Amino acid sequence: MKKTRYLVLGLGNYGRSWAYVAAKNPEGELVAVVDRSEEALALVDLPVAKYTDLDTAVAEQKPDVVILVLPPHLHIPVARGLMEKGITVLCEKPICSDLKEAADFTAWCAEQGRPCGIAENYRYRPVMRGAKQLLLDGVVGKIRRVNCRFTHYHPDYSMFYHGSLKHPLLNDVTVHHLDLARYLTGAEPLTVTCTEHGAPHCWYQQRPASAEIASEMTEDIFFAYNGTLASPVSTTDWYGDWEIMGDKAVLRICGTTVTLYTAENEKQVWEFPDGGDTRAPLLSGFIRALQENTFCESDIRDNYKTFRWMQTAAQSAECGEEIKL
Protein backbone atom coordinates (compact mmCIF):
# COMPACT_ATOMS: atom_id res chain seq x y z
CA MET A 1 0.00 0.00 0.00
CA LYS A 2 1.18 3.51 -0.83
CA LYS A 3 2.72 5.27 2.17
CA THR A 4 0.82 8.24 3.60
CA ARG A 5 2.76 11.44 2.91
CA TYR A 6 2.67 13.90 5.78
CA LEU A 7 4.31 17.06 6.98
CA VAL A 8 4.65 18.44 10.50
CA LEU A 9 3.50 22.03 10.96
CA GLY A 10 4.83 23.81 14.08
CA LEU A 11 8.23 22.88 15.48
CA GLY A 12 8.08 24.42 18.93
CA ASN A 13 8.49 22.64 22.26
CA TYR A 14 6.33 19.72 21.21
CA GLY A 15 6.29 19.88 17.41
CA ARG A 16 10.04 19.33 17.18
CA SER A 17 9.77 15.89 18.80
CA TRP A 18 6.65 15.20 16.68
CA ALA A 19 8.86 15.48 13.58
CA TYR A 20 11.11 12.68 14.87
CA VAL A 21 8.13 10.49 15.83
CA ALA A 22 6.61 11.00 12.37
CA ALA A 23 9.93 10.33 10.62
CA LYS A 24 10.18 6.90 12.29
CA ASN A 25 6.69 5.68 11.39
CA PRO A 26 6.98 2.83 8.83
CA GLU A 27 3.43 3.36 7.49
CA GLY A 28 4.00 6.98 6.58
CA GLU A 29 6.60 9.22 5.03
CA LEU A 30 7.60 12.55 6.54
CA VAL A 31 8.09 14.75 3.47
CA ALA A 32 8.58 18.16 5.08
CA VAL A 33 8.56 20.26 8.23
CA VAL A 34 7.12 23.78 8.42
CA ASP A 35 7.55 26.59 10.92
CA ARG A 36 7.52 30.33 10.41
CA SER A 37 10.69 30.50 12.49
CA GLU A 38 14.01 29.74 10.75
CA GLU A 39 15.47 29.01 14.18
CA ALA A 40 12.88 26.34 14.87
CA LEU A 41 13.52 24.78 11.45
CA ALA A 42 17.26 24.73 12.07
CA LEU A 43 16.77 22.66 15.23
CA VAL A 44 15.27 19.77 13.24
CA ASP A 45 18.04 17.52 11.99
CA LEU A 46 16.15 15.33 9.52
CA PRO A 47 16.69 14.81 5.78
CA VAL A 48 13.37 16.41 4.74
CA ALA A 49 12.34 19.62 2.99
CA LYS A 50 11.98 22.67 5.27
CA TYR A 51 9.58 25.57 4.74
CA THR A 52 8.65 28.78 6.51
CA ASP A 53 5.44 29.04 4.48
CA LEU A 54 2.66 26.43 4.68
CA ASP A 55 1.08 27.23 1.29
CA THR A 56 4.39 26.72 -0.52
CA ALA A 57 5.00 23.47 1.38
CA VAL A 58 1.56 22.14 0.46
CA ALA A 59 1.87 23.20 -3.20
CA GLU A 60 5.30 21.60 -3.62
CA GLN A 61 4.98 18.49 -1.44
CA LYS A 62 1.30 17.60 -1.97
CA PRO A 63 0.96 15.88 1.45
CA ASP A 64 -1.98 13.59 2.25
CA VAL A 65 -1.85 14.68 5.89
CA VAL A 66 -0.68 17.64 7.96
CA ILE A 67 0.25 16.99 11.58
CA LEU A 68 -0.72 20.29 13.14
CA VAL A 69 1.30 21.29 16.22
CA LEU A 70 0.62 25.02 16.41
CA PRO A 71 -0.70 26.84 19.49
CA PRO A 72 -4.42 26.07 20.06
CA HIS A 73 -5.89 29.39 18.79
CA LEU A 74 -4.54 28.52 15.31
CA HIS A 75 -5.78 24.91 15.19
CA ILE A 76 -9.23 25.39 13.70
CA PRO A 77 -8.54 28.13 11.12
CA VAL A 78 -5.47 26.29 9.84
CA ALA A 79 -7.12 22.83 9.94
CA ARG A 80 -10.17 24.09 8.09
CA GLY A 81 -8.07 25.80 5.40
CA LEU A 82 -6.14 22.57 4.83
CA MET A 83 -9.25 20.39 4.81
CA GLU A 84 -10.84 22.69 2.22
CA LYS A 85 -7.84 21.86 0.02
CA GLY A 86 -8.52 18.13 0.47
CA ILE A 87 -5.74 17.52 3.01
CA THR A 88 -6.49 15.47 6.13
CA VAL A 89 -5.41 16.87 9.49
CA LEU A 90 -4.10 15.27 12.65
CA CYS A 91 -4.27 18.11 15.15
CA GLU A 92 -2.73 18.45 18.60
CA LYS A 93 -5.01 18.86 21.58
CA PRO A 94 -6.90 20.92 22.64
CA ILE A 95 -8.84 21.58 19.47
CA CYS A 96 -9.15 25.29 20.43
CA SER A 97 -10.05 27.41 23.43
CA ASP A 98 -13.73 28.11 22.79
CA LEU A 99 -16.65 25.70 23.07
CA LYS A 100 -18.77 27.23 20.32
CA GLU A 101 -15.85 27.29 17.89
CA ALA A 102 -15.20 23.61 18.65
CA ALA A 103 -18.89 22.70 18.27
CA ASP A 104 -19.14 24.51 14.92
CA PHE A 105 -15.97 22.86 13.65
CA THR A 106 -17.13 19.39 14.78
CA ALA A 107 -20.47 19.94 13.03
CA TRP A 108 -18.66 21.13 9.90
CA CYS A 109 -16.44 18.00 9.84
CA ALA A 110 -19.58 15.85 10.19
CA GLU A 111 -21.36 17.71 7.35
CA GLN A 112 -18.33 17.21 5.13
CA GLY A 113 -18.03 13.55 6.22
CA ARG A 114 -14.33 14.30 6.76
CA PRO A 115 -12.06 13.01 9.53
CA CYS A 116 -10.01 15.29 11.76
CA GLY A 117 -7.84 13.35 14.18
CA ILE A 118 -7.00 14.85 17.56
CA ALA A 119 -3.64 13.71 18.90
CA GLU A 120 -4.97 12.59 22.28
CA ASN A 121 -1.99 10.45 23.17
CA TYR A 122 -2.46 9.59 26.88
CA ARG A 123 -4.95 6.83 26.13
CA TYR A 124 -2.29 5.11 24.01
CA ARG A 125 0.04 4.49 26.95
CA PRO A 126 0.37 0.68 27.36
CA VAL A 127 -0.68 0.85 31.02
CA MET A 128 -3.94 2.59 30.04
CA ARG A 129 -4.61 0.05 27.27
CA GLY A 130 -3.88 -2.77 29.76
CA ALA A 131 -6.08 -1.27 32.49
CA LYS A 132 -8.92 -0.75 30.01
CA GLN A 133 -8.79 -4.42 28.98
CA LEU A 134 -8.86 -5.52 32.64
CA LEU A 135 -11.88 -3.30 33.25
CA LEU A 136 -13.61 -4.73 30.17
CA ASP A 137 -12.84 -8.21 31.57
CA GLY A 138 -14.81 -7.17 34.65
CA VAL A 139 -12.05 -7.39 37.28
CA VAL A 140 -13.62 -4.66 39.44
CA GLY A 141 -17.22 -5.60 38.69
CA LYS A 142 -19.53 -2.65 38.11
CA ILE A 143 -17.51 0.62 38.21
CA ARG A 144 -18.87 2.94 40.91
CA ARG A 145 -16.28 5.64 41.39
CA VAL A 146 -13.13 6.94 39.68
CA ASN A 147 -10.53 9.07 41.45
CA CYS A 148 -7.69 10.79 39.61
CA ARG A 149 -4.91 12.69 41.34
CA PHE A 150 -2.33 14.71 39.42
CA THR A 151 0.48 16.61 41.13
CA HIS A 152 3.16 18.09 38.97
CA TYR A 153 5.90 20.67 39.16
CA HIS A 154 5.72 22.78 36.02
CA PRO A 155 8.72 24.96 35.23
CA ASP A 156 8.19 28.58 34.26
CA TYR A 157 6.59 28.51 30.80
CA SER A 158 5.26 32.05 31.05
CA MET A 159 7.22 33.05 27.94
CA PHE A 160 5.36 30.50 25.76
CA TYR A 161 1.69 30.40 24.75
CA HIS A 162 1.09 28.25 27.83
CA GLY A 163 1.77 31.34 29.93
CA SER A 164 -1.33 33.07 28.55
CA LEU A 165 -3.86 30.23 28.95
CA LYS A 166 -6.85 31.33 31.02
CA HIS A 167 -7.18 27.94 32.76
CA PRO A 168 -3.65 26.55 32.38
CA LEU A 169 -4.23 23.28 34.23
CA LEU A 170 -7.65 22.51 32.72
CA ASN A 171 -6.88 23.67 29.16
CA ASP A 172 -3.49 22.06 28.84
CA VAL A 173 -3.37 18.94 31.01
CA THR A 174 -6.71 18.10 32.64
CA VAL A 175 -8.14 17.72 29.15
CA HIS A 176 -5.97 14.56 28.87
CA HIS A 177 -7.20 13.24 32.23
CA LEU A 178 -10.84 13.79 31.33
CA ASP A 179 -10.24 11.93 28.10
CA LEU A 180 -8.71 9.06 30.10
CA ALA A 181 -11.74 9.00 32.42
CA ARG A 182 -14.05 8.62 29.39
CA TYR A 183 -11.73 6.03 27.84
CA LEU A 184 -11.31 3.88 30.96
CA THR A 185 -14.98 3.86 31.98
CA GLY A 186 -16.69 4.06 28.59
CA ALA A 187 -19.06 6.47 30.35
CA GLU A 188 -19.88 10.11 29.59
CA PRO A 189 -20.10 13.06 32.00
CA LEU A 190 -23.58 14.27 32.94
CA THR A 191 -22.75 17.08 35.39
CA VAL A 192 -19.65 18.99 36.38
CA THR A 193 -18.67 21.06 39.38
CA CYS A 194 -15.20 22.58 39.39
CA THR A 195 -13.22 24.80 41.71
CA GLU A 196 -9.89 26.34 40.74
CA HIS A 197 -7.11 27.92 42.75
CA GLY A 198 -4.22 30.26 42.02
CA ALA A 199 -0.66 29.46 43.02
CA PRO A 200 0.91 32.61 44.49
CA HIS A 201 4.01 30.67 45.59
CA CYS A 202 5.11 30.15 41.97
CA TRP A 203 5.04 31.77 38.53
CA TYR A 204 1.34 31.05 38.02
CA GLN A 205 0.56 33.69 40.69
CA GLN A 206 -3.25 34.13 40.72
CA ARG A 207 -3.78 32.02 37.61
CA PRO A 208 -5.68 28.78 38.27
CA ALA A 209 -2.99 26.11 38.29
CA SER A 210 -4.90 23.78 40.63
CA ALA A 211 -8.41 22.38 40.36
CA GLU A 212 -10.90 19.93 41.78
CA ILE A 213 -13.62 18.45 39.61
CA ALA A 214 -16.64 16.35 40.56
CA SER A 215 -18.81 14.79 37.87
CA GLU A 216 -21.72 12.39 37.77
CA MET A 217 -21.27 10.16 34.74
CA THR A 218 -23.53 7.78 32.88
CA GLU A 219 -23.63 4.19 34.22
CA ASP A 220 -24.04 5.70 37.71
CA ILE A 221 -20.31 6.44 38.01
CA PHE A 222 -18.91 9.28 40.12
CA PHE A 223 -15.66 10.95 39.00
CA ALA A 224 -13.45 12.94 41.39
CA TYR A 225 -10.37 14.85 40.24
CA ASN A 226 -7.69 16.67 42.12
CA GLY A 227 -4.91 18.24 40.06
CA THR A 228 -2.15 20.81 40.24
CA LEU A 229 0.68 22.10 38.08
CA ALA A 230 2.01 24.13 40.97
CA SER A 231 3.35 21.52 43.31
CA PRO A 232 6.92 22.10 44.45
CA VAL A 233 7.55 18.42 43.58
CA SER A 234 6.10 16.05 41.02
CA THR A 235 4.49 13.18 42.90
CA THR A 236 2.61 11.73 39.93
CA ASP A 237 3.63 11.46 36.31
CA TRP A 238 1.78 13.38 33.57
CA TYR A 239 -0.85 10.63 33.36
CA GLY A 240 -1.88 11.00 37.02
CA ASP A 241 -2.63 8.26 39.57
CA TRP A 242 -5.97 6.52 39.21
CA GLU A 243 -8.27 4.47 41.43
CA ILE A 244 -11.20 2.75 39.79
CA MET A 245 -13.53 1.45 42.45
CA GLY A 246 -16.04 -1.24 41.54
CA ASP A 247 -18.42 -3.37 43.54
CA LYS A 248 -15.92 -6.29 43.53
CA ALA A 249 -12.48 -4.65 43.76
CA VAL A 250 -10.40 -1.51 43.32
CA LEU A 251 -7.99 -1.10 40.41
CA ARG A 252 -5.11 1.30 40.87
CA ILE A 253 -3.02 2.71 38.01
CA CYS A 254 0.23 4.26 39.10
CA GLY A 255 3.12 4.77 36.67
CA THR A 256 3.35 1.61 34.56
CA THR A 257 1.80 -0.61 37.25
CA VAL A 258 -1.78 -1.75 37.62
CA THR A 259 -2.73 -3.19 41.02
CA LEU A 260 -6.04 -4.87 41.73
CA TYR A 261 -7.10 -4.83 45.38
CA THR A 262 -9.85 -7.34 46.08
CA ALA A 263 -12.38 -7.22 48.90
CA GLU A 264 -10.42 -9.94 50.68
CA ASN A 265 -7.45 -7.60 50.85
CA GLU A 266 -5.45 -9.56 48.33
CA LYS A 267 -3.75 -7.93 45.45
CA GLN A 268 -2.73 -8.80 41.94
CA VAL A 269 -0.15 -6.76 40.06
CA TRP A 270 0.43 -6.25 36.33
CA GLU A 271 3.29 -4.33 34.69
CA PHE A 272 2.75 -2.57 31.37
CA PRO A 273 6.15 -1.06 30.49
CA ASP A 274 6.20 1.98 28.28
CA GLY A 275 6.95 1.02 24.70
CA GLY A 276 8.27 4.37 23.47
CA ASP A 277 6.49 7.57 22.56
CA THR A 278 2.68 7.24 22.77
CA ARG A 279 2.38 9.35 19.60
CA ALA A 280 3.76 6.41 17.56
CA PRO A 281 0.75 4.07 18.09
CA LEU A 282 -1.56 7.09 17.84
CA LEU A 283 -0.15 8.01 14.43
CA SER A 284 -0.32 4.38 13.25
CA GLY A 285 -3.98 4.17 14.30
CA PHE A 286 -4.71 7.43 12.51
CA ILE A 287 -3.03 6.22 9.28
CA ARG A 288 -4.81 2.85 9.41
CA ALA A 289 -8.17 4.57 9.86
CA LEU A 290 -7.44 6.79 6.84
CA GLN A 291 -6.48 3.81 4.71
CA GLU A 292 -9.66 2.00 5.77
CA ASN A 293 -11.71 5.11 5.06
CA THR A 294 -12.95 5.34 8.62
CA PHE A 295 -12.40 7.58 11.68
CA CYS A 296 -9.60 7.12 14.22
CA GLU A 297 -10.37 6.52 17.89
CA SER A 298 -9.76 10.16 18.86
CA ASP A 299 -11.37 11.81 15.86
CA ILE A 300 -12.95 15.20 16.65
CA ARG A 301 -16.34 13.42 16.74
CA ASP A 302 -15.24 11.66 19.93
CA ASN A 303 -12.72 14.16 21.23
CA TYR A 304 -15.26 16.99 21.20
CA LYS A 305 -16.96 15.25 24.16
CA THR A 306 -13.71 15.46 26.15
CA PHE A 307 -13.20 19.09 25.13
CA ARG A 308 -16.78 20.01 26.09
CA TRP A 309 -16.31 18.43 29.54
CA MET A 310 -13.10 20.40 30.10
CA GLN A 311 -14.58 23.70 28.90
CA THR A 312 -17.71 23.16 30.99
CA ALA A 313 -15.52 22.51 34.04
CA ALA A 314 -13.85 25.88 33.38
CA GLN A 315 -17.29 27.55 33.15
CA SER A 316 -18.33 25.89 36.42
CA ALA A 317 -15.20 27.25 38.12
CA GLU A 318 -16.03 30.73 36.83
CA CYS A 319 -19.70 30.74 37.87
CA GLY A 320 -19.28 28.65 41.04
CA GLU A 321 -22.14 26.30 40.14
CA GLU A 322 -22.72 22.77 39.01
CA ILE A 323 -23.44 22.59 35.27
CA LYS A 324 -25.33 19.86 33.43
CA LEU A 325 -23.75 18.74 30.19
Ligand X SMILES: NC(=O)c1ccc[n+]([C@@H]2O[C@H](COP(=O)([O-])OP(=O)(O)OC[C@H]3O[C@@H](n4cnc5c(N)ncnc54)[C@H](O)[C@@H]3O)[C@@H](O)[C@H]2O)c1
| 92 binds ligand X, rule: CB under 6 A | yes
> Binding to ligand X by residue 13, rule CB under 6 A?
yes
Q: Which residue of 93, 152, 167, 177 would you call a contact of ligand X, by CB under 6 A?
A: 93
Binding of ligand X at residue 63 (CB under 6 A)? no
Residue 260 three-state SS: strand
Q: Which of residues 188-247 bind ligand X (CB under 6 A)?
A: none
- Nearby residues of 60 by Cβ (< 8 Å), 6 or more positions away: 32, 49, 51
Count CB-CB contacts under 10 A for residue 39: 8
Q: Does 12 bind ligand X (CB under 6 A)?
A: yes
Measured between its terminal Cα atoms, the distance across the chain in Å is 43
The answer to whether residue 64 forms part of the interface with ligand X (CB under 6 A) is no
Q: Which is nearer to ligand X, 69 or 296 (CB)?
A: 69
Binding mask 134-173 for ligand X (x = CB under 6 A): --------------------------xx----------x-
List 10, 63, 168, 208, residue binding ligand X (CB under 6 A): 10
Q: Which is nearer to ligand X, 7 or 249 (CB)?
A: 7
What single string gives the DSSP state of each residue in 88-152? EEEEPSSS-S-HHHHHHHHHHHHHHT--EEE---GGGSHHHHHHHHHHHTTTTSSEEEEEEEEE-
Question: For residues 290 and 282, what is the distance between their CA atoms, to the nearest angstrom?
Answer: 12
**Candidate ranges 68-76, 107-115, 202-210, 291-299; the one touching ligand X (CB under 6 A):** 68-76
250: β partners:
245, 261
Q: Can you give the binding site for ligand X, defined by CB under 6 A?
A: 10-15, 34-37, 40, 69-72, 74, 92-93, 119, 121, 160-161, 172
